Structure formats: structure tokens, C-alpha cells
């Protein structure tokens, strides 16, 4: 069996490991420094640990970082990295540089269980949960790591369906003993798994992006089966009931589908649903995926939709389409060709 | 930072009910019975847990809305967190149960009900509520013993009950996956298609239906995530 990975463990977990191995307590702090601040890729690099300590660690643990196995570059500077996820397949991360910022879109699962109609990852089914270390490895092993200004959990998978590991990765990213990154530079997206979302809101300071895609129950459940159990109205109500403070950002993602969710009636209903909330709405052009009956709204309709929302007082952006030519854009990540698909249960 | 799940679990309104029966109806498949304390609509789910330390999972109700008991059908996932504990429950043990919720609701209009594995559960509730008369049920399972409630479905639906078995052959069974059966069919127009079960079944079936010209407005999916 593979040795457990040290990378991706929190300070308190590493303290327990150090105590169990009978090492001096200060080794825990040295280890988190090497793992998360000095970006060591092997135990041999940890030169302020004695040789015997390094040997003990090496016997029991692997460090747990792995290089991307492939990179594809888009003409617009976006890059898509393929990372191995242990023996359970591959995941993709999209690096999106901009004028004054560079964002990494990370994956949280191999595949996804949510089955949204418009999503390539959804078509792959579910293969595995990522550990906190596998989530963080997409950041740590990124050649452009030092340029990163923002992390968004919007890659493959529904982050809040892997709540424990995602929360651990957020702790490591934002802790002083970890990457020391401001949670205001991190956004977690969700389709609205209500119980897990409540936990996230209460235990993390990171921003939240909710995939809305339609304000109407009957329409949304055709696009996103989750609407049957956690309707968008409930999701909004739960967020409304939560005191978010001034710094924390809640945004709603809205992919524009021609003739489906792009009418003035939708603008009106979104405004009613989000009435009085200080939120941002991100409109996104749809990138058609194979075998889909959906098409993207045209530019004029998107512009009018945006103006309608702006008039209602909502900060509304149209997210630029990045990395479309290498399938790195929103909803296009998939490793279906590379993973061993689950034997179906039917 | 507390990364445990205790916070939100404590806030989910679950009530403790004694287990009345936990019957293994087939290898690895159980019907769990408690008293019904709320009304529900056929197709709805409840969140269940055995105690406050374990995040509740969702289960479709498989009993009739007017029954004095509430039942769910679950399959044991040996590496799962909750189902091994559910499988060990005995009469008198405590189960934590939420109020029913969900919008995957049966109705009176003609439809095909499509299910993989335990995804057949909500259709039993719908059938027991008298909604089966203009329905066809297509159920996919790997083995012949996974066609849960087949006697009841056969009685009620007769030839409109199709069992697709992918790993075994048997009397009355279509030999192959339900997706294969569907590919071979000419689909009726103007009816709805209900899909319930694993994401793998739902996404593949949805693609087949769409490729055969079914409008997305007529496809309703419940994914067991
Ligand atoms: C709306 C809805 C209705 C449902 N109705 C039913 C129903 O009627 N009957 C029914 O049987 N089920 C139903 N389900 C599924 C049910 O909620 C549970 O997901 C299922 O019973 C498994 O629970 P578990 O705790 O045993 O497994 P979990 O612990 O949740 O694990 C599920 C599977 O994932 C694997 N797994 C767990 N953790 C990891 C990890 N870290 N890495 C890799 N793999 C992992 C496990 O091995 C297991 O096979 C429904 C789900 C939904 C959303
Ligand atoms: S949109 Fe997100 S939640 Fe939906 S299937 Fe794709 S990855 Fe999963």
C-alpha cells in the first residue's frame, strides 16, 4: 500500500504525527514551513531536520507532491494543466493570467456526481474525491505558482460534495503556518448543497460563488438535478440569513443559454429573488459541449440582460471567455478519456 | 478552525425515531421502516443518520403516502460511512430522520419511469399512490436479485415493467443495460421521462433521450449523489 502523504495535513495533524513518531514538538512547525512556505519537494531538502528525522519521515510517509503530466496553452495565455490524482485518475486545473492578476481554477473531485446538463465534467460521472493534498498540489506544483493572486474552486467537481478535504485545504491556504493567503483571494463555488454550504459559511472566510443559471425552480431543475432537493430559493434564503460582513463576497454565476434563461422575465425574477442583497452576478457565455441541446445566448441578448440587472442595482459582470480553444473554459474540464470509469451500477 | 461536520449536523432538524423493522430484501439491500410522523408527496426524500456525528444522507421514501409507516430502500456501500451503520440497525434502535422534502414528484401524466439500482424507490411510492396506470417502468440492475419490489411492479404494471439486467440472464429479463434497451426503442412523443439513480445512469440516459429528440422540458432527473 502507498505510504500516506504529509503534504495536505494541517498543523494539528502534523503535530499528532510528530508526537506519534516520538519526535521533538518543534519539528511540526519546521515541517509546515518546508511543506507550505519553502515549497520543499522532497524530505532531503529539509536541511534543518536531522538526517535521522528525515529518514523516519521517509520510511513512514511520502511527501505527496506531483508534477503536472501535461500542459496545454491557449492563444490567450490561459494554460490547462493535467495532474495525476494517485491511482484514481487525472484532474485538470486552469491557469488564467490577466493584466494585474493571475487566477488558478482548481478541481476538487475526479469527475462529479451532480449531473448538470451543460457540463463536460458532469458527463464523466464520478470517480473519486481529492484529498486536501491533491487539491493543494495543483497550486504547489504549478510552474506559475509565484504569480498567483487568486484561487477559485471552480474546476472539476462540486467542492462542497467533498467538504472535509476542501475545508482542510482552505485552512492550509489561509493559515499563518500554511500559505498565509488572504481568504479574500479565494472563492469556492457551489451549486448549493445547503447543509455543506452553511458549514462553509460558518467556518471559512473565503468568498462564495453560487451557480444559479436560472431563478425559476421548474427551469433550473431541468438544467441542474440538485434543484429537486436544494432549490435555489432555499439556497438564497440560507445566505440571506447569514451575516456576511462587508468584506466577504457572494456572487451568483449565470451561464447564458439562448432562449432558455436569457429573457427580461429572468432579469425580473433574479431581481426579486436577490432583492436587497449585496451580491455580484457573473454572466458567462456558454461553451457548447458535445450532444447538448443548449446554445449560448447572442452578444446582444447578453448585453441587454446585463443592462437589465445593472438597472436593478446589481453589480453585474460578463466574464471574459478564456481558454476556450483548449477546453479550459468554465464547464469544459474533463478527463473522461484518461480515467477508469466506474463499473456502472445498472 | 473546526473542520468537523458537527456544526451543521446539529442544526439540521432531525428527529429520533425507533426503528420498527430493518429487512434485508436482497443481498446488500435493505428496507428500513419507521413510524410516519409527517405527510409527504410520492417522490420526496428524507435525510437520515444514526447519530449527530455522522452527516445525514438522503433517501427516497419508498412507501405509500397514506401508510402509517415510512420506508426507505438502501443499498449497503461497504466502504461508505452511513450505510454500514444503517445495515446494523435493529428494531428499537434509534434513527435520526428529517422532515420529507424534494421536488422529484410523481404526477398523473403519461411517463416512462427509468431507474438504476435503488433509484427505483421513489417509483414504488408513486405506484402505491396510484400513479402507475399510464407509466412504463424501466429498471436497470447488474444482477437478477437487484430488481427490488419486482413482484409488486409486475402485478401492477405487467408488460410495462422492463427489467434490464447487465450481468446475468434470466426469465423475463432483458439481457443488457437499460441504456442499450433505450437505444433500441422508438420513443413515444408527448410524454415525460423520469430518471432516478446514479449520475452515470442519469447522464448517459439523458444523452440518449436528447439524441432521440426528447425535449429537455420533458426530462426530470433525480441524481443519487
Ligand atoms: C436525492 C437523493 C436520494 C437518494 N436516495 C437513495 C435511496 O433511496 N437509496 C439509496 O440506497 N441511496 C440513496 N441515495 C444515496 C445516499 O444518500 C448515500 O449517498 C448512499 O447511501 C451512500 O452513503 P454512505 O454513507 O454509506 O456512503 P459514503 O460514505 O457517502 O460514500 C459513498 C461512496 O463513496 C465512497 N467514498 C466515500 N468517501 C470516499 C473518498 N474519500 N474517496 C473515494 N471514495 C469515497 C464510498 O466507498 C462509497 O462507496 C440518495 C441520494 C440523493 C442525493
Ligand atoms: S457544473 Fe459543477 S456541479 Fe455541475 S456537473 Fe459540472 S462540475 Fe459538477
Please tell me if residue B3 touches chain A, with a CB cutoff of 8 Å.
Answer: yes
Residue A330 a catalytic site member: yes
pLDDT of A321 over the 80 cut:
no
Average pLDDT over chain A reads: 94
Percent of chain A with pLDDT over 90: 86
CATH 2.40.30.10 domain locations along chain B: 3-98
State the sign of the Cα–Cα–Cα–Cα dihedral A133, A136, A142, A145.
Answer: negative
Residue A119 a catalytic site member: no
User: Which residues from chain B sit within 8 angstroms of residue A205, using beta carbons?
Assistant: none
Residues 6 or more apart whose CB falls under 8 angstroms from that of B170 comprise B144
Architecture of domain B3-98: Beta Barrel (2.40)
pLDDT (0 to 100) of residue A327:
81
Q: Which among B81, B118, B200, B211 is the top mutation candidate for probing chain A, defined by the most A β-carbons within 10 Å of its own β-carbon? A: B200
Listed in sequence order, the DSSP H helices in chain A are 11-20, 26-32, 51-60, 120-123, 132-140, 163-174, 194-203, 217-223, 232-240, 264-273, 299-311
Q: pLDDT of A254-272, one tens digit each? A: 999 999 999 999 999 999 9
Q: What are the cell numbers at B183?
A: 437505444
Mean pLDDT, to the nearest integer, of A104-122?
96
Across the beta sheet with A250-256, what order do the strands follow? A70-73, A79-84, A90-97, A102-105, A150-153, A186-190, A207-211, A250-256, A280-285, A315-319
Domains of chain A as residue ranges with CATH? 11-60 (1.10.150.530), 70-342 (3.20.20.70)
ipTM value of the model?
Answer: 0.93
pLDDT (0 to 100) of residue B9:
44
CA–chain centroid gap for A28, Å, is: 28
pLDDT (0 to 100) of residue B133:
95
**Annotated catalytic residue, options A2, A92, A105, A237:** A92
Searching chain B, which residue's CA lies closest to the CA of residue A127? B200
pLDDT of B7 over the 80 cut:
no
| Nearest one of A339, A345, A346 to A90, comparing CA atoms | A339
Fold of B111-223: Rossmann fold (3.40.50)
pLDDT of A307 over the 50 cut:
yes
Mean pLDDT, to the nearest integer, of A55-66?
96
Distance between Cα A157 and ligand 2 center (Å): 6
- Partner-chain contact A346 B178, CB within 8 Å: yes
Q: Residue B29 — pLDDT band, cuts 50, 70, 90?
A: very high
Distance CA B84, CA B176 (A): 29
**Annotated catalytic residue, options A112, A116, A119, A330:** A330
| Nearest one of B110, B139, B119 to B43, comparing CA atoms | B119
pLDDT of B146 over the 80 cut:
yes
Please tell me if residue B13 touches chain A, with a CB cutoff of 8 Å.
Answer: no
Q: Residue B116 — pLDDT band, cuts 50, 70, 90?
A: very high
pLDDT of A155 over the 80 cut:
yes
CA–chain centroid gap for B72, Å, is: 8
pLDDT (0 to 100) of residue A236:
96
What length does chain A have? 346
Distance CA B124, CA B126 (A): 5
pLDDT (0 to 100) of residue A333:
85
Distance CA A229, CA B225 (A): 11
Distance CA A230, CA A224 (A): 10
Distance between Cα A224 and ligand 2 center (Å): 9
Is the distance from CB of A112 to CB of A119 less than 8 angstroms? yes
Give the number of the ligand closest to the Cα of residue B221: 1
Mean pLDDT, to the nearest integer, of A298-323?
94
State the sign of the Cα–Cα–Cα–Cα dihedral A223, A228, A233, A237.
Answer: negative
State the sign of the Cα–Cα–Cα–Cα dihedral B203, B205, B211, B214.
Answer: negative
Phi-psi region of A77 (alpha: psi -120 to 50; beta: other; left: phi over 0): left
Q: pLDDT of A78-105, one tens digit each? A: 999 999 987 788 999 999 999 899 999 9
Q: How far from B97 is each of A332, B59, B113, CA to CA, in Å? A: 38, 10, 27
pLDDT (0 to 100) of residue A336:
81
pLDDT of A119 over the 90 cut:
yes
pLDDT (0 to 100) of residue A71:
95
pLDDT (0 to 100) of residue B3:
37
CATH 3.40.50.80 domain locations along chain B: 111-223
Please tell me if residue B10 touches chain A, with a CB cutoff of 8 Å.
Answer: no
Is the distance from CB of B139 to CB of B165 less than 8 angstroms? no
**Nearest CB to B223: which of A10, A114, A164?**
A114
Q: What are the cell numbers at B37?
A: 410522523
- Partner-chain contact B199 A114, CB within 8 Å: yes
pLDDT (0 to 100) of residue B12:
61
pLDDT of A235 over the 50 cut:
yes
Distance CA B209, CA B189 (A): 11
Amino acid at each position: 500500500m502507498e505510504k500516506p502523504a504529509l503534504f495536505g495535513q494541517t498543523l494539528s495533524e502534523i503535530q499528532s504525527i510528530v508526537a506519534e513518531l516520538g519526535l521533538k514538538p518543534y519539528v511540526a512547525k519546521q515541517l509546515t514551513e518546508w511543506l507550505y512556505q519553502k515549497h520543499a519537494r522532497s524530505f532531503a531538502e529539509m536541511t534543518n531536520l536531522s538526517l535521522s528525522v528525515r529518514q523516519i519521515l521517509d520510511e513512514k510517509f511520502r511527501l505527496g507532491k506531483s508534477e503536472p503530466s501535461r500542459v496545454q496553452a491557449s492563444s490567450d495565455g490561459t494554460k490547462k494543466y493535467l495532474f495525476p490524482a494517485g491511482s484514481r485518475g487525472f484532474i485538470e486545473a486552469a491557469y488564467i493570467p490577466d493584466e494585474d492578476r493571475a487566477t488558478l481554477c482548481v478541481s476538487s473531485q475526479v469527475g462529479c456526481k451532480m449531473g448538470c446538463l451543460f457540463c463536460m465534467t458532469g458527463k464523466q460521472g464520478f470517480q473519486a474525491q481529492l484529498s486536501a493534498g491533491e487539491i493543494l498540489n495543483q497550486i504547489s506544483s504549478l510552474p506559475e505558482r509565484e504569480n498567483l493572486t487568486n484561487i477559485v474552486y471552480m474546476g472539476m467537481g462540486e467542492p462542497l460534495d467533498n467538504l472535509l478535504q476542501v475545508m482542510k485545504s482552505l485552512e492550509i491556504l489561509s493559515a499563518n503556518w500554511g500559505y498565509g493567503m488572504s481568504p479574500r483571494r479565494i472563492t469556492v463555488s457551489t451549486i448549493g448543497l445547503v447543509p455543506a454550504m452553511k458549514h462553509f459559511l460558518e467556518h471559512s472566510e473565503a468568498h462564495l460563488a453560487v451557480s444559479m443559471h436560472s431563478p425559476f425552480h421548474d427551469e433550473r431543475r431541468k438544467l441542474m438535478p440538485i434543484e429537486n432537493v436544494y432549490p435555489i430559493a432555499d439556497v438564497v434564503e440560507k445566505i440571506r440569513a447569514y451575516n456576511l460582513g462587508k468584506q466577504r463576497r457572494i456572487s451568483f454565476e449565470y451561464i447564458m443559454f439562448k432562449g432558455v434563461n436569457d429573457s427580461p422575465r429572468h432579469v425580473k425574477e433574479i431581481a426579486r429573488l436577490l432583492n436587497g442583497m449585496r451580491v455580484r452576478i457573473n454572466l458567462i457565455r456558454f461553451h457548447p459541449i458535445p450532444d447538448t441541446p443548449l446554445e449560448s445566448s447572442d452578444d446582444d441578448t447578453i448585453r441587454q440582460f446585463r443592462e437589465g440587472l445593472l438597472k436593478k442595482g446589481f453589480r453585474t459582470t460578463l466574464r471574459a471567455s478564456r481558454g476556450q480553444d483548449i477546453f479550459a473554459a468554465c464547464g469544459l474540464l474533463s478527463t473522461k478519456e484518461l480515467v477508469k470509469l466506474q463499473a456502472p451500477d445498472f | 478552525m473546526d473542520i468537523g461536520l458537527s456544526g451543521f449536523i446539529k442544526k439540521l432538524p432531525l428527529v429520533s425515531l425507533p426503528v420498527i423493522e430493518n429487512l434485508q430484501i436482497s443481498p446488500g439491500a435493505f428496507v428500513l421502516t419507521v413510524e410516519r410522523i409527517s405527510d409527504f408527496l410520492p417522490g420526496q426524500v428524507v435525510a437520515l443518520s444514526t447519530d449527530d456525528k455522522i452527516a445525514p444522507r438522503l433517501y427516497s421514501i419508498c412507501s405509500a403516502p397514506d401508510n402509517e409507516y415510512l420506508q426507505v430502500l438502501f443499498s449497503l456501500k461497504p466502504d461508505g460511512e452511513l450505510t454500514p451503520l444503517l445495515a446494523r440497525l435493529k428494531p428499537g434502535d434509534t434513527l435520526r430522520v428529517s422532515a420529507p422534502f424534494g421536488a422529484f414528484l410523481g404526477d398523473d401524466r403519461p411517463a416512462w419511469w427509468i431507474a438504476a439500482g435503488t433509484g427505483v424507490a421513489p417509483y414504488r411510492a408513486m405506484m402505491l399512490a396510484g400513479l402507475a396506470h399510464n407509466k412504463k417502468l424501466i429498471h436497470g440492475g447488474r444482477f437478477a436479485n437487484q430488481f427490488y419490489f419486482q413482484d409488486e411492479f409486475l402485478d401492477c404494471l405487467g408488460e410495462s415493467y422492463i427489467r434490464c439486467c447487465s450481468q446475468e440472464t434470466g426469465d423475463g429479463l432483458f439481457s443488457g443495460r437499460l441504456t442499450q434497451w433505450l437505444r433500441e426503442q422508438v420513443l413515444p412523443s408527448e410524454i415525460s421521462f423520469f430518471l432516478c439513480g446514479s449520475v452515470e445512469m442519469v447522464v448517459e440516459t439523458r444523452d440518449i433521450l436528447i439524441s432521440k429528440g426528447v425535449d429537455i422540458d420533458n426530462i426530470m432527473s433525480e441524481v443519487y449523489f
